[in-house]
Structure 1
Amino acid sequence: MNDLLAQFRTHWHSAFAALGGKPVLLAVSGGVDSMALLQLFIDSSIPFAVAHCNFGLRGAASDLDEVLVRDRCLQAGVVCHITRFATKEMAAEWKKGTQETARILRYEWFGDLQQEFGYVRTVTAHHANDNVETLLMNLFRGTGIQGLHGILPDNGKLVRPLLWATREQIMEYAVANNITWRDDESNASDDYLRNAIRHNVIPEVQKLFPGMVDNVNGSIGRFAEAEQLYNKAVKAEIVILIEKRGSDHYIAIRKLRHRTPLATICYELLQPFGFTAAQIPQAMALLDAGAGKYMTSGTHRVIRDREFLVITALAPADADMIQVEGAPCTIDTDRYSFSFAIKDVPASIPADKDVAYIDAGAITFPLLLRRWRTGDHLYPLGMGMKKKKVSRLLIDLKVPLHEKEHVWVLECNKRIVWIAGIRPDERFKVRPSTRQVLVVTRTAK
């Protein structure tokens, strides 16, 4: 199956030319797909390193996976990053499922490695069969056009260079090239939805349509192209229908009534504000409702106001996240009031846990004030740029469980600037070159 290698090389250099030959991080589990992809990378002279996660979920089998990946990388002279997670313990702490916890842990670690070592993307071994399974799951659950494009080949963080190859092609390549891999016995179980579809649905469909994997993948490509046209049309509708007034958004009911298809347009207008497809009938009912009727998402409210539907942020005291458009301003939450002001750099920075002095040149508005959540991390001031999870910092500081739900963070471009009342981030500290500071003061109500 040298054809697979030739096709891979051609596809990589055409589809991912924008990466400019910079090193990538290859996620290798030890299964046949990722071990085959590892060999393809070795034989293609693409600059890369390997990352392997040992989740400790299968006892000795997990350790043998780790040994296989490490030994193969040593043999090939490939840099190999390995980490171990206490996955079950973390799942219990986070109150999440084991698989979801493992996913969060691995992708957070991949992101850390990318940032630390300069890898431009993380590469996974998802292939054509995975793409079909993803599409079917989206369809069965109910989806808009966004769910029809399957797995994206490049989402800005992850690239999947084997989406064109079937599982059978990869297996043939692995056997023909004497590639060693390990099987994960959990893949044989139907306990997970993907496995159930893989084992029970797809084989039955293939009896009727033997080329279904290739056919569906061809359709996925066409859906992705159709989505581009769809998105252009949606943007045009948004320009026509939404008028921004201050921080609120107004939709003229008279204009909206005459748009078609109405339900789809309502969904696209409202989903950026946290509303779901299941809420669209309720939204459409507001067109005929009396003034003052409303519906809410996690962050916003849509109010019927005479001639308009008005989209407005929930009252800050009710919201879990609040956008900070600029300074000066004051924002009230359930327990605290936060004031924001831009000032000249003081002669000295007062030591007050409820006041943050932030380099104004290091931030851009809007900022996001929100409750902390699982997976948050920062580089606490005074710890020498050592990254730490917010959850671990709260444990170390012995913050009581009932108080943790009242911890807020200030975020800039998806980076935490300050854990309110606890610790600012090293990256936003006041430096000798700082000209102005953003002063954020937290006051108990």
Structure 2
Amino acid sequence: MGSKFPELFEKRFLLACSGGLDSVVLTHLCHESQLDFALAHCNFGLRGEESDLDEKFVSELAEKIKKPFFLTHLDTLGYVNKHKVSVQMAARELRYAWFKKILKENNIPILVTAHHADDDLETFLINLSRGTGIDGLVGIPSKTDFLCRPLLPFSREQILEYAKSNNLEWREDKSNNDTKYLRNKIRLEIIPALKELHPTFLDNYKNTQSFLRQTSKIADHRLQEIKKKLFVKESNFTRIAIDKLKELEPLSAYLYGLLNEFGFTEWDNIADLLDAMSGKYVLSDTHKLLKDRSFLLLSERQFDDSTQQHFSININQEIVAEPLEMKFTVVDNWDNNTDAIIYVAKKALKYPLVIRKWKNGDYFYPLGLQGKKKLSKFFKDEKIDVFSKKDQWLLCSGEDIVWVIGRRADERFKVKEDTKEILRIEATL
């Protein structure tokens, strides 16, 4: 353990202990190695008295080995009803959220769990049954940025043998024998049949995992090279050239490899997006992929409705802090407008001024042009992408647009030779 997980010998860590065979063995190993750790136990409240006895067992174990003990009681069924997820998924999300909270509050850098080789195989078979790419087949990682799984190389049989040889006691969770849960069915019925077909099945699986991880690293290296060429980062989104994407073969595999990390699952819809009309998009839980002429635009989803926000500016107000920094100064002379600075006739303004997002139907009189123009047409002529349009702020006087901020002022408010009060407006873009 020391060679593969040296950090466990150097830093304090949190050990997740259910009271079952695997976590009790891991606790014993860490204690015998004189490591610095605390135990954490979740009571999910799913098995009545049995859950309480698990809690009591782990509490007494922590006291016996003189280790700090963290405990929580979780409303698992309430979470299931609220979020419409399975009991097992609810338990996972609840416990990891609590573990991370404990790590942060106590300045503990590492969480240790007792996942082993059979858990890894079960996860592989679950992902295989549901359909997955290579990321779902490479197995459970032995390390992440905050998590270590030192028992991952060992089988359930080896762990049981260790427990018996050291006269360890542990709790048995009877729900682990309920085959209505997919993982239990795989553990109790499918894996034993596979091991019966081939006695060295688990060892063969580990070798296969090693080959898959090596292949995955090669693929990841290739994908990163492509991302550097194709993914052009803008201020709040990433632009991807569709013609360059279409040169990749096999296209479906590259689309998955390039976009899978952003949570997308509707791969047929993403492939169709390449030839769709501008404005079409595909959503994941966290991101949006939108077709904009010859590009795909990738951005994080925004769930607040900022289009309804209005920010007022009073007549004597000189500084504005939100939604962007602006400065209003009365000056004696004016210069040419720039993207960040405009000069207007203050007398033409109706206060309070308002900063707001643009909406369909908005129009203005672009400075230097004759007549009015719809903002949607202005954006199109200026080749402004849809994400930039979405984030566009306007400075308005009553219903009239004074400035499409950062782009064009309005002709109606321009400074003339006889203007007596000139207002300089500067925005930090």
TM-score, L = length of structure 1: 0.65
1:98 maps to which residue? 87
Q: Using the alignment, how far apart are the partners of 1:96 and 1:252 within structure 2?
A: 37
1:340 maps to which residue? 323
Q: Secondary structure at the match of 1:50?
A: strand
**Do the aligned partners of 2:14 and 2:111 also contact (CA within 8 Å) in 1?**
yes
1:301 maps to which residue? 289
- Give the direction of change, closer, same or farther, for the CA distance of 1:110–1:343 in structure 2 (3 Å limit): farther
Which residue, out of 251, 258, 270, partners 1:262? 251
1:174 maps to which residue? 163
Q: Deviations over 1:380-408 (max 9, x none)?
A: xxxxxxxxxxxxxxxxxxxxxxxxxxxxx
**Do the aligned partners of 2:9 and 2:35 also contact (CA within 8 Å) in 1?**
no
Q: Deviations over 1:157-186 (max 9, x none)?
A: 221100001000000111111101111000
2:45 maps to which residue? 56
2:107 maps to which residue? 118
Aligned residue identity for 1:238: K
Query: Displacement of 1:116 after TM fit?
Result: 2.2
**Do the aligned partners of 1:238 and 1:269 also contact (CA within 8 Å) in 2?**
yes
Does 2:176 correspond to 1:193? no
Query: Displacement of 1:238 after TM fit?
Result: 1.6
1:281 maps to which residue? 268
Q: Using the alignment, how far apart are the partners of 2:69 and 2:174 within structure 1?
A: 24
Aligned residue identity for 1:184: D
**Do the aligned partners of 1:28 and 1:35 also contact (CA within 8 Å) in 2?**
yes
Which residue, out of 146, 151, 159, partners 1:157? 146
Q: Using the alignment, how far apart are the partners of 1:90 and 1:280 within structure 2?
A: 30
Which residue, out of 223, 226, 236, partners 1:237? 226
Q: Using the alignment, how far apart are the partners of 1:130 and 1:33 within structure 2?
A: 11
- Give the direction of change, closer, same or farther, for the CA distance of 1:199–1:115 in structure 2 (3 Å limit): same
Query: Displacement of 1:335 after TM fit?
Result: 4.9
Calculate the aligned-residue CA RMSD, in Å: 2.5
**Do the aligned partners of 2:115 and 2:151 also contact (CA within 8 Å) in 1?**
yes
Q: Using the alignment, how far apart are the partners of 2:122 and 2:50 within structure 1?
A: 26
**Do the aligned partners of 1:19 and 1:120 also contact (CA within 8 Å) in 2?**
no
2:391 maps to which residue? none
Q: Secondary structure at the match of 2:144?
A: coil
**Do the aligned partners of 2:13 and 2:109 also contact (CA within 8 Å) in 1?**
yes
Query: Displacement of 1:309 after TM fit?
Result: 2.8
Aligned residue identity for 2:112: V
Query: Displacement of 1:40 after TM fit?
Result: 0.8
Does 2:119 correspond to 1:130? yes
2:349 maps to which residue? none
Does 2:191 correspond to 1:202? yes
Aligned residue identity for 1:283: I
**Do the aligned partners of 1:274 and 1:300 also contact (CA within 8 Å) in 2?**
no
Q: Deviations over 1:122-151 (max 9, x none)?
A: 111100000011111111111112112211
- Give the direction of change, closer, same or farther, for the CA distance of 1:91–1:270 in structure 2 (3 Å limit): closer
Figure out how many residues of one structure are paired with residues of the other and give that number: 315
Q: Using the alignment, how far apart are the partners of 1:55 and 1:49 within structure 2?
A: 20
Which deviates more from structure 2 when the two are superposed, residues 20-29 or residues 177-186? 20-29
- Give the direction of change, closer, same or farther, for the CA distance of 1:33–1:233 in structure 2 (3 Å limit): same
1:74 maps to which residue? 63
Q: Using the alignment, how far apart are the partners of 1:280 and 1:105 within structure 2?
A: 30
Aligned residue identity for 2:52: D
Q: Using the alignment, how far apart are the partners of 2:65 and 2:234 within structure 1?
A: 60
**Do the aligned partners of 2:276 and 2:291 also contact (CA within 8 Å) in 1?**
no
- Give the direction of change, closer, same or farther, for the CA distance of 1:212–1:341 in structure 2 (3 Å limit): same
- Give the direction of change, closer, same or farther, for the CA distance of 1:275–1:62 in structure 2 (3 Å limit): closer
**Do the aligned partners of 2:45 and 2:73 also contact (CA within 8 Å) in 1?**
yes
Q: Using the alignment, how far apart are the partners of 1:290 and 1:101 within structure 2?
A: 38
Which residue, out of 110, 117, 128, partners 1:139? 128
**Do the aligned partners of 1:30 and 1:65 also contact (CA within 8 Å) in 2?**
yes
Does 2:73 correspond to 1:84? yes
Q: Using the alignment, how far apart are the partners of 1:187 and 1:223 within structure 2?
A: 29
TM-score, L = length of structure 2: 0.67
Aligned residue identity for 1:295: Y
Aligned residue identity for 1:194: R
Q: Using the alignment, how far apart are the partners of 1:77 and 1:41 within structure 2?
A: 13
Mind listing any 5+ residue stretches in structure 1 that lack a counterpart? 1-11, 323-331, 345-445
Aligned residue identity for 2:271: M
Query: Displacement of 1:266 after TM fit?
Result: 1.8
Q: Using the alignment, how far apart are the partners of 2:291 and 2:196 within structure 1?
A: 52
Q: Using the alignment, how far apart are the partners of 2:213 and 2:130 within structure 1?
A: 19
- Give the direction of change, closer, same or farther, for the CA distance of 1:193–1:313 in structure 2 (3 Å limit): same
Q: Deviations over 1:85-106 (max 9, x none)?
A: 2332343344443322222222
